[in-house]
Structure 1
Amino acid sequence: MVVTPCPESIPLSDITGARIFCKLDNLQRTGSFKERGARNALLQLEPRQKKRGVIAASAGNHALGLAYHGQLLGIPVTVVMPDYAPLIKVSTCRKLGAVVVMAGRDFAEARARADELAAAEGLAYIHGFDDPAIIAGQGTMALEMLEQVRDADAIVCPIGGAGLLAGLAVAAKALRPGIKIIGVESGATASFTAALRARRPVTIPRRATLADGLAVLRVGDNAFRLARPRVDRVVRVTEDWIALAILRMIELEKIVVEGAAAAPLAALMAGLLPELRGKKTILTVCGGNIDPAMLSRVIEKGLVHDGRLARFTVIISDRPGGLAELTRVIAASGASIKDIAHDRAFSGPDVSAVNAVCTVETRDHAHVRELHRALRRQGFPVSVAK
């Protein structure tokens, strides 16, 4: 585990209006903050338990953190991963010396198998976000933040199971009671908001999200108890803003982050935290373990949200010259064609006409509207993809 940097970001400050500092825990060896809690939990085991080993159910960063620090400390680690766990994380855990057991269609089934193995083999189960030692370990990030940005006004933190939020809030409020702690959830997985409404952790329905690190159906009991009285505000962001925030981090900070780590920036970009304008604000960039295939899709979604990738359908003549005239208008507008597909089967009764489905690169939403106007002026009816 390393002390990660927390540099000021001029470009992110420019686009949000706050004075932004990024705590780059994506630079940990395994790519996420989870190493902090994992190492702390392993160090606190009794000597006999260190020899026997530990076990956890995890499909991602918690498994990697335990495997890496278990190897460094000479503590046997077993991780039970559900069937959908990314192959890269499975292979990395094995390379780091962990015993990997593939079991279960979802996390609940993987956890049940882990409990069975823990009982049978005398292994200590380490919960990924609700173990007190895990929560305390995550709090070391706040200690570093307040050393690196001594007069910070706020810390903005993503919320999944709330272990990171709880650790940060306890440590930061103990040292700086006046600092604002703000949590950010994906609107698709708002388990902390549900717990606030119910005044206790409750299970929410499973929904897909780009921020898979936040896709926890029920916040931890310990985490919620610690975080609830110390968190000043919780906001929820949409998937479009998370995608755009990932894109902005790549473009402006040259940093690849996963969806959970992009959520704090997404909240500011979406205008959900106007009270932070001009304030020294630390964004918790908690991890960078995003699947490359997912990253490419996320970038495209971000480009669409940004108005830099657009799709529309126009009716053109299916005779020679029809496509050439269409491409001439697109080029004259300054757009760049990525793809054109002809749809003859569903283009209507006129057999001399064809639907041309066009995907183009543009500068922004104003440029897209300008292109549509140019096409209509030249007699090309435009239908915009939703």
Structure 2
Amino acid sequence: MLDYEDVLAAREHVEQVAVRTPLNYSHSFSRLTGAEINLKLENTQRTGAFKIRGAMNRIAALTDEERERGVVTASAGNHAQGVALAATRAGVDSTIVMPKYAPVSKVEATKRYGGDVVLHGIDYDEAQAHAHELEREEDRVYVHAFEDERVMAGQGTIGLEIAEQCPEVDTVVVPIGGGGLISGVATAMKGALDDVRVVGVQAAGADSAARSMEEGERVELSGVDTVADGIAVREVGEHTFPYIRERVDEVVTVDDEAIAETLTLLLERSKTVVEGAGAVALAAVLEERFDYEEGEVIVPALCGGNVDMNTLITVILRGLVRMGRYLKVSLELKDRPGELERVATIIAREDANVYALTHDRTSRDIAVDAADLEIELETHGHEHAAEVVAALEEAGYEVEVEA
């Protein structure tokens, strides 16, 4: 079994390439929650995520013969970059299998770090199956994203840093995909501090670990569906699950709407960019998915910042919708002069701002003497959005709220 001494030993290898990431107290999120929130900014790590830690510790352990054979792995993006960089630094050839729909930014970054990228499958599990085929066909060494004690130990060095940076911590909140990160962090935290709670968080659309904890055995999902692609795994690891059961106090889930809102809040309040998987830990705190006390010292691990720009735009929009600051409505107008001005006057009177509008007179779904109007609005919150809709309806329009 992986122990505290293994994590301590991993630090020597990890520090050759990884940086010690900041732990920042957040006034904004502390006010919002009533707890003392300290953000572990692993999104500022080299390669933009914690994965370089485990990859470096695993690559450092290769024998000369294994180095000659080269390595292969599968990843949705962050592990890919970690392995590519660690292997390149060690002079080892690397092949990285990524899902076909992996974010373009992660694919391109992996190539820049020296990895030979192969796109295969619709998700991590299909990419992994193909990577194992290449392992056999090309006699490469497989570097697993989480089913490896050396990888877990490398990821656990985050826990060593948290214990040193915030020894008064009560609760550490950690994302779970396959379970390598939380296995290492929980091992480090329980070894370094006498009384600390470790809470794991999964996306509701990829909740294998949460279900497995409930069932007492590993549960494999038929598929995954979440904006948090970095933790979109169908089944928690066979080797990691025992660590989660033994060393993690609780596993909870958050939905994509909460993830989107948290990502948006981090941008606005902390000027911090994270990916979906990087937002889940803080989202669990904000959504009160586990119990905590007033003034409790909590460290959510923001584990990655490699978000695709197109995805970021979509996620921010969803976050604004959830916060009541973006409203999209459609209504039918009489096709006559002044009607559009009448709607605009109502919106202006209610102090809402128009992002964009579409005026369509040709739709087959409306009368010949009518026009379909779709408006995107900036609003100040849910109450204000409701007031805008009510004002339009009071003026006689049938309003359909789309977002």
The reply to whether TM is greater than 0.5 is yes
- 1:1-386 equivalences under 5 Å are 1-344=18-361, 345=363, 349=367, 351-385=368-402
Structure 2: state its 5+ residue gaps: 1-17
1:221 aligns to what SS in structure 2?
Answer: coil
Deviation at 1:356, TM superposition (A): 2.2
Deviation at 1:108, TM superposition (A): 3.9
Structure 2 CA distance for partners of 1:275 and 1:106, relative to 1, 3 Å:
closer
Given that 2:183 and 2:240 are in contact with CA atoms closer than 8 Å, whether structure 1 keeps it comes out as yes
Deviation at 1:346, TM superposition (A): 5.5
Given that 1:2 and 1:28 are in contact with CA atoms closer than 8 Å, whether structure 2 keeps it comes out as yes
Letter in 2 for 1:178: D
Aligned to 2:15: none
Moved more, 68-77 or 373-382: 373-382
Number of residue-to-residue matches in the alignment: 385
Q: In percent, how many aligned pairs have the same letter? A: 39
Structure 2 CA distance for partners of 1:276 and 1:293, relative to 1, 3 Å:
farther
Structure 1: state its 5+ residue gaps: none
Given that 2:125 and 2:234 are in contact with CA atoms closer than 8 Å, whether structure 1 keeps it comes out as no
> If the length of structure 2 is used for normalisation, what is the TM-score?
0.90
Given that 1:170 and 1:227 are in contact with CA atoms closer than 8 Å, whether structure 2 keeps it comes out as no
Given that 1:317 and 1:323 are in contact with CA atoms closer than 8 Å, whether structure 2 keeps it comes out as no
Residues in 2 aligned to 1:369 and 1:49: alpha-carbon distance in whole angstroms: 63
Deviation at 1:60, TM superposition (A): 0.8
2:240 aligns to what SS in structure 1?
Answer: helix
2:251 aligns to what SS in structure 1?
Answer: strand
Aligned to 2:5: none
Letter in 1 for 2:241: F
Residues in 2 aligned to 1:270 and 1:186: alpha-carbon distance in whole angstroms: 13
2:23 aligns to what SS in structure 1?
Answer: coil
Moved more, 73-82 or 14-23: 73-82
Given that 2:175 and 2:278 are in contact with CA atoms closer than 8 Å, whether structure 1 keeps it comes out as yes
Given that 1:347 and 1:353 are in contact with CA atoms closer than 8 Å, whether structure 2 keeps it comes out as no
Letter in 2 for 1:130: E
Residues in 1 aligned to 2:131 and 2:208: alpha-carbon distance in whole angstroms: 24
Given that 1:347 and 1:354 are in contact with CA atoms closer than 8 Å, whether structure 2 keeps it comes out as no
Given that 1:194 and 1:204 are in contact with CA atoms closer than 8 Å, whether structure 2 keeps it comes out as no
1:363 aligns to what SS in structure 2?
Answer: coil
Residues in 2 aligned to 1:352 and 1:101: alpha-carbon distance in whole angstroms: 55
Residues in 1 aligned to 2:165 and 2:391: alpha-carbon distance in whole angstroms: 52
Letter in 2 for 1:323: L
Deviation at 1:104, TM superposition (A): 4.0
Residues in 2 aligned to 1:301 and 1:247: alpha-carbon distance in whole angstroms: 9
1:167 aligns to what SS in structure 2?
Answer: helix
